[in-house]
Structure formats: structure tokens, C-alpha cells
Amino acid sequence: MIIRITPAENGRKLAEVLRGRGVSRRLITRLKRAPMGMTRGGELIRSIDAVYENDEIVLSEPYRKAFAEASPAEVPVLYEDEHCVVFDKPPFMPCHQSMKHYGDTLANVFAAHCPDTVFRCINRLDKNTSGCVLIAKSSLAAFSLQKSCRKLYIGIMPHTDSAGGRICAPIARERDSAIKRCVREDGVYAATTFYKLADTAYATLAAFIPETGRTHQIRVHCAYAGRPLLGDDMYGGDTTRIDRQALHCGEVSFVIPMTDRRITVRSELPEDMAAVMSRRMM
């Protein structure tokens, strides 16, 4: 990663500049210990050294080997720069490896796309949820992106006359399940805002903005409101028209690390969800 020193940072110590840009002390220590962790003009620079306007400081993290097995699947790239990549994840593909999914995950796709780079998923999606997934290419980038990332989801629920609203209900783990969640008084605070995008006689297409990031949050909140997402068999959704939860991450926005520039990346509604909204009530 390359950072350019601004006029406001002129004459300050490098460590002060990095901390001012959100770099943790732990990561600065790792950079100091790396063979060429921090350089200026190809020469090593210490964290206590002063930096000056227009200096270009190159930060190189110590390499930690990632698994190299690559999935043959091709996943569209919606955006990429030196800090991150946004994939358009299809449904039925897990983000991370597990005992049942070792070579067919988005992590495998990333390993093929960015060899020798650790997989750092900023907004992990459930296996059957599609759409934008933001991946950081370094822990420096991950630290920044985690703080600035905002997400907008598109989902399909049974028809409702409501134009939108806000669901605020605490979420807890279902006591008899390692995966399923529920709304319960002793749960963790969770809030979701939603608004209607389109209607058919059978279904409502809605946008969801999670204010918090709890596991299955949108799915649980929809079920709690009496409108479980179509296809979501875990939470009581109607599975007659789609064979997975009708949920899609349609947009992510984030600030480019070490800058003040926010960008927005969008993904089109997938075919199976679009087909649901094109049908008339049977």
C-alpha cells in the first residue's frame, strides 16, 4: 500500500501519521518488524522518523501464506483496486471453507484471483444469499474498510401494504441450534430499516439497510414481523417460487483506504429473484 503525505501531515512522525489514518498500533509494530515493512524512496524508514509533504510511503505487510487451492468457478468482479476487490457472489456458494465446502467457496475464487493474498472478507454473506462481497487485500485495508463499509440488501417478502419501517428487536442464538437465530429479550441489540421498491399481488420487493450486523439479521427480523423472506425455509418462508432465501446484497459503499473518497458498487438483481417478481399470483 502506498500513502502520500499531505500538507497537514508535513513534518510529523510517521507513526503519528499512520495512527491519524486509522492504522492500529499492533499493525504498526508488525510493519516495523517486517524486512521492508515501511520504506520511502526504496529506503527503510522508521516509525519515529519525520515525513514531509508529497513523500510516498510504501507499507508492506509481512506475508502470511494463504491456502492456494483454487475453485474452477468464475465469479464476476464488480470493482477492484490495490486495496480491495468486490465480487458478485452467486447463490449457493459459501464465502468461507468448511468441512463440507473446501474447494468451492468464494475464498477459493479469491485465491485464484489474488495468489499469495490472505482472504479477508468484510461483509460475509450466507451461502444462499447473493450479491456484493467486499474483500480486503491486506489487514491495513481491512481495518479501514470494516469501519466504513455500508450495505444495502434487496429481498422479497410476501405482499405487504406497508411502505416501509424500522424493525428493532434483539437477536439471540436459538437454544437448540448452532446456526438458527431468533428474537429474544436477552438477545443482542439489532435494528433494520426497510422500504418498498415494487409490488405484485403475491410479493413485495424491498430494500433493507441493516443498522447492525447480527447473524441472519434481515431474515430473522422479517420472520419476526410476520413476513419471512420467500424461499427461506429456516425461518418459515414460502418455498414454492424460489429455492433459496430471496435476499441479495445489491450495494456496498466504502471509503478507499487512506483517502476520504467513498465509492458505491452495485449488483443487479439475480435472475431467480427477478423471475419471482415477474410472475403473477397463481
Range 16-38 average pLDDT: 82
pLDDT at 120 over 50: yes
The pLDDT of residue 72: 57
One-letter amino acid for residue 275 of the chain: A
d(CA 172, CA 141): 30
The reported pTM is 0.78
Burial 13-32 (b: 16+ CB within 10 A, else e): ebbebbeebebeeebbeebe
Helix (H, G, I), strand (E, B), or coil: what is residue 274? Answer: helix
Model confidence at 63: pLDDT above 60: no
Could you give the percent of the chain with pLDDT greater than 90? 64
Q: Position 221: which residue type?
A: H
- CB contact set of 58 (below 8 Å; sequence gap of 6+): 1, 2, 38, 39, 40
Yes or no: say if 60 and 37 are a contact pair by the CB < 8 Å rule: yes
Q: Does residue 71 surpass a pLDDT of 70? A: no
User: Are 202 and 215 in contact, with CB atoms under 8 Å apart?
Assistant: no
pLDDT at 22: 79
More confident residue, 270 or 175: 270
According to the model, what pLDDT value does residue 219 have?
97
pLDDT at position 34 over 80 = no
Residue 259 pLDDT:
85
Residue 184: pLDDT band (50, 70, 90) is: very high
Asked if pLDDT for residue 281 goes beyond 50, the answer is no
Predicted confidence at residue 62, as pLDDT, reads 59
- 8 Å CB contact between 84 and 134: yes
The yes/no answer on whether domain 2-59 falls in CATH 1.10.287 is no
Tell me how far apart the alpha carbons of residues 101 and 104 are, in angstroms, rounded to a whole number. 6
Instruction: Work out the angle at residue 246's Cα, subtended by the Cα atoms of residues 240 and 252, and round it to the nearest 5 degrees.
Output: 170
- Catalytic positions, please? 126
Over residues 227-233, the mean pLDDT reads 97
Band (32; pLDDT cuts 50, 70, 90): confident
Which residue in 142, 147, 146, 148 sits closest to 64, CA to CA? 142
What is the CATH code of the structural domain delimited by 151-249+274-278? 3.30.2350.10
Output Rg (C-alpha) for the chain, integer angstroms: 22
| Residue with the larger pLDDT of the pair 185 and 99 | 185
